[in-house]
Amino acid sequence: MEPFAGTSLTDQALTQGEVLATQWRVKADYAWDTGVAVGRFMAGLKEGKILGVQCSECNRTLIPPRAFCELCFRPINRWVELRDTGVINTFSVSFVNWDATRREIPEVPAVIEIDAASPGMGILHLLGEVGDNLDSVLAKVSIGKKVQAVWKPSEEREGSITDIRYFKLID
């Protein structure tokens, strides 16, 4: 005896009324609130600025910004403008797109420790102008290399992390 005996449904049975079926579009609208800290960070990006916050208790400068310090749990409300430069903390070379299709030219995501922030504080972003194959990327990119943000033109910015097109290597 089969544990789940039954008759499989066919496309024809469903589309030609052989079985009762109903179709509808799910209305699944949603809104995402960035909150105070990330909202102000995004507004800064639209202006071409990288903003961080300073904890008065720990004396740390944090990026991405947050509403409270995760070490001392104090509220944070002191904002500072950071430089748009930093160093590569770690990176990867990817030949796979988000949908698992193969890329011809690699993408290089990296964690960038932003200058003037506390050690270990940074953002994940893409590196650009690093070559179009694995050998050229690995010949140029390494941990500790200095980078600078390459911004979209001001009229194209929308208050998103992609207002920074990518980070490029600098001497």
The residues spanned by each domain of the chain are: 35-169
23 DSSP assignment? -
Partnered with residue 123 across adjacent β-strands are: 112
Model pLDDT, residue 159: 94
Partnered with residue 78 across adjacent β-strands are: 54
SS3 128: coil
φ/ψ of 151, rounded to 5, equals: -90, 150
Decide if 91 contacts 61 (C-beta within 8 A). Answer: no
Model pLDDT, residue 7: 76
- Beta-carbon count within 10 A of 53 CB: 23
Model pLDDT, residue 2: 66
Instruction: Tell me how far apart the 2 most distant CA atoms of the chain are, in Å.
Output: 73
Place of tokens 């009762």: 20
Partnered with residue 149 across adjacent β-strands are: 167
Instruction: Confirm whether pTM is higher than 0.95.
Output: no
Model pLDDT, residue 34: 78
- Token pair of 54 as six digits: 């300073």
Q: Give, for all 171 residues of the chain, the pLDDT tens digit.
A: 567 677 788 888 888 888 888 878 888 887 777 788 889 999 999 999 999 999 999 899 999 999 999 889 999 889 999 999 999 999 999 999 988 899 999 999 999 999 999 999 999 999 999 999 999 999 999 999 999 999 999 999 999 999 999 999 998
